[in-house]
Amino acid sequence: MQKAEWERDPRVSVTLRPLKYRYHYDEYGKPASDPSGKRIVIGTPQEKGVDVLCALAMVREARREEVDLVILAAQDTDLIPALDEALLLGTAKIETFSWYEPNKPHGRQQLRPSVRQIWNTRLRHTDFLNCRDTTDYS
């Protein structure tokens, strides 16, 4: 439902990634089940491949002739090589934004590319709250 709602805007394309689960195994190495027969999950599900999708999308968009600005909203330093690549293309302007809390100046930092400095917009907690999607999609 949420994907369909967001994609009503023709500028939006949502790519879903499957979640990965860790399961509990019994003493014989077989997946353990609860009384209802469902496999027992350990911990919280993990997203896999999202950072790679972001990296590919950033470089792909930076290469498009009709795109003049790409904004990367991420804190993952694994994206720096892709950020460098997009900058080296020299086609689109690249900017980032990061969450910033004045009382935690050494907390979440902006991504810093290796090839040159770029503009980073710092958003505070109130900005985060203002941009959340609070729609109930159930």
pLDDT in tens, 4-13: 999 999 999 8
92 has pLDDT over 70: yes
CB atoms within 10 A of CB 13: 10
Instruction: Quote the pTM value.
Output: 0.71
56 has pLDDT over 90: yes
Confidence of residue 1 (pLDDT cuts 50, 70, 90): confident
93 has pLDDT over 90: yes
The CB-side HSE value for 113 (13 A sphere, CA atoms) comes to: 19
pLDDT in tens, 27-44: 999 999 999 999 999 999
- Largest separation between any pair of C-alpha atoms in the chain: 59
117 has pLDDT over 70: yes
